[in-house]
């Protein structure tokens, strides 16, 4: 209960901060939409090519929108040493991680919904037939990506070249999630039997759980000098 109270307080604080300036979510959505838009012009894919290209394109948009979000999330903390302020309270450092992660998950989730909606319009592609599995795949892969991004966002926040450091640190670690996301999304959107891509979903789910647990346990050391 104690941990949940802290997680909720941090989540609500991040939501409130974002509501006041609306910079993070707007930039994530606009960036994601631009990626979808530009790829459409670059490739002008036919219907059958769309199913092949769309998952990769979406995950590129999600990945870069995520980097923007993670950077902004910790920029707000860095401004007046907010993370240190939280560390002064008698709270589990893991709870600080979960609170920040939950907020990042929410922001990236909203951006993903907007980007998928934009993609369905521009590519004239309906996600509805596969929406259940596609949502599940996206959820697990986003969870894994956000788990990595939140941890490395906190690490990069204290470095001089933080905007560059974050993608350099997190992308190599998050590669399994992106591969799983692209492969499983392709299977789901093509209408393949679930069994064909269930392994990728399990990989994404397993990666997410392991990384969330590891980050929860080790976040104390990430926050230290």
| Interface with another protein, residue 163, by CB under 8 A | no
As given in the structure block, the two tokens for residue 101 are 């992660």
Q: At what angle do helices 194-223 and 131-157 cross, to 10 degrees?
A: 20
The residue within the footprint of another protein, chosen from 44, 46, 80, 172 (CB under 8 A), is: 80
Q: How far is the CB of 107 from another protein (least distance, A)?
A: 15
The residue within the footprint of another protein, chosen from 28, 29, 86, 154 (CB under 8 A), is: 86
Stretch 5-34 residues interacting with another protein (CB under 8 A): 5-6, 9, 13, 16-17, 20-21
| Interface with another protein, residue 44, by CB under 8 A | no
| Interface with another protein, residue 224, by CB under 8 A | yes
| Interface with another protein, residue 76, by CB under 8 A | yes
The residue within the footprint of another protein, chosen from 4, 38, 43, 85 (CB under 8 A), is: 85
| Interface with another protein, residue 121, by CB under 8 A | no
| Interface with another protein, residue 81, by CB under 8 A | yes
CA distances from 22 to 28, 29, 42, 61 (A): 10, 11, 30, 19
Residues 6+ apart with CB under 8 A from 36: 57, 58, 61, 115, 118, 119, 122, 123
| Interface with another protein, residue 160, by CB under 8 A | no
DSSP per residue, 38-76: HHHHHH---HHHHHHHHHHHHHHHHHHHHHHHHHHHHHH
The residue within the footprint of another protein, chosen from 45, 56, 82, 176 (CB under 8 A), is: 82
| Interface with another protein, residue 135, by CB under 8 A | no
Could you give the CA distance from residue 62 to residue 195 in angstroms, rounded to a whole number?
A: 25
Of the candidates 55, 57, 68, the residue with the CA atom closest to the CA atom of residue 104:
68
Q: Which is nearer to another protein, 34 or 76 (CB)?
A: 76
| Interface with another protein, residue 56, by CB under 8 A | no
Q: At what angle do helices 162-190 and 194-223 cross, to 10 degrees?
A: 160
| Footprint of another protein (CB under 8 A) | 2, 5-6, 9, 13, 16-17, 20-21, 76, 79-82, 84-91, 224-225
């Amino acid at each position: 209960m104690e941990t949940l109270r802290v997680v909720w307080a941090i989540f609500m604080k991040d939501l409130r901060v974002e509501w006041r300036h609306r910079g993070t979510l707007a930039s994530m959505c606009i960036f994601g939409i631009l990626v979808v838009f530009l790829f459409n012009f670059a490739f002008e894919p036919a219907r059958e090519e769309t199913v092949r290209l769309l998952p990769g394109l979406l995950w590129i948009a999600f990945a870069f929108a995520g980097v923007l979000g993670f950077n902004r999330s910790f920029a707000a903390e860095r401004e007046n040493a907010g993370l240190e302020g939280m560390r002064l309270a008698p709270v589990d450092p893991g709870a600080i991680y979960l609170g920040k992660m939950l907020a990042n998950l929410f922001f990236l989730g909203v951006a993903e919904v907007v980007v998928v909606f934009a993609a369905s319009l521009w590519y004239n592609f309906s996600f509805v037939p596969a929406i259940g599995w596609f949502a599940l795949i996206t959820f697990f892969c986003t969870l894994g990506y956000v788990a990595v991004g939140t941890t490395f966002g906190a690490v990069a926040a204290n470095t001089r070249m933080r905007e560059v450091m974050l993608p350099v640190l997190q992308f190599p670690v998050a590669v399994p999630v992106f591969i799983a996301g692209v492969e499983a999304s392709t299977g789901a959107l093509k209408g393949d039997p679930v069994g064909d891509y269930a392994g990728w979903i399990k990989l994404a789910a397993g990666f997410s759980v392991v990384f969330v647990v590891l980050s929860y346990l080790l976040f104390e050391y990430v926050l230290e000098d």
